[in-house]
Amino acid sequence: MNCSRNCLDLIEEFEGLRLEAYRDPVGIPTIGYGTIRYPDGRKVQLGESITEREAEAFLTFECHNIGKEVADLMEVQLNQNQFDALVSFCYNLGIGAFTESTLRKKLNEGDLQGAAAEFLKWNKGTINGVKQELKGLTRRRTREKQLFEKVGDEGTAIELEESPREKVTLLEGYRDSENNVIVAWNNDQVVEIVTLDNAIKDNMIAVLQQYPRAGSFRIAPSGKSLPSGARIPFTDRESAISRVQNPPRLDRILARGSEGDDVKRLQERLQDLGYYDGSIDGDFGRRTDAAVKEFQAKVFGLAEADGKVSQKTWAKLWGNTTPVPPRPPGPAIPGRHYLRLTKTNQGVFEQRGQTWG
Q: Could you list the active site residues?
A: 15
| 17 φ/ψ angles, rounded to the nearest 5 degrees | -110, 130
Give the Cα separation of 70 and 109 in Å (integer). Answer: 16
Helix/strand/coil for 233: strand
Q: 327 near 280, Cβ under 8 Å? A: no
Neighbours of 131 (CB within 10 A): 12
Helix/strand/coil for 283: strand
Q: 237 near 299, Cβ under 8 Å? A: yes
Neighbours of 349 (CB within 10 A): 23
Give one DSSP letter per residue of 284-338, joined into a string. Answer: --HHHHHHHHHHHHHHT-GGG-SS-B-HHHHHHHTT-SSPPPPPPSSPPPTT---
| Residues counted in the chain | 357
- Give 37's DSSP letter: B
Give the Cα separation of 282 and 224 in Å (integer). Answer: 55
Nearest alpha-carbon partner for 269 in 239, 237, 305, 244: 244
Contacts 24+ apart (CB under 8 A), 140-146: 140/14, 140/88, 140/92, 141/89, 143/10, 143/13, 143/14, 144/10, 144/85, 144/88, 144/89, 144/119, 145/85, 145/116, 145/117, 145/119, 145/120
Q: State how beta strands 189-196 and 231-233 pair.
A: parallel
Nearest alpha-carbon partner for 67 in 43, 85, 42: 85
The residues near 190 (Cβ < 8 Å, ≥ 6 apart) are: 183, 184, 227, 229
Neighbours of 79 (CB within 10 A): 13
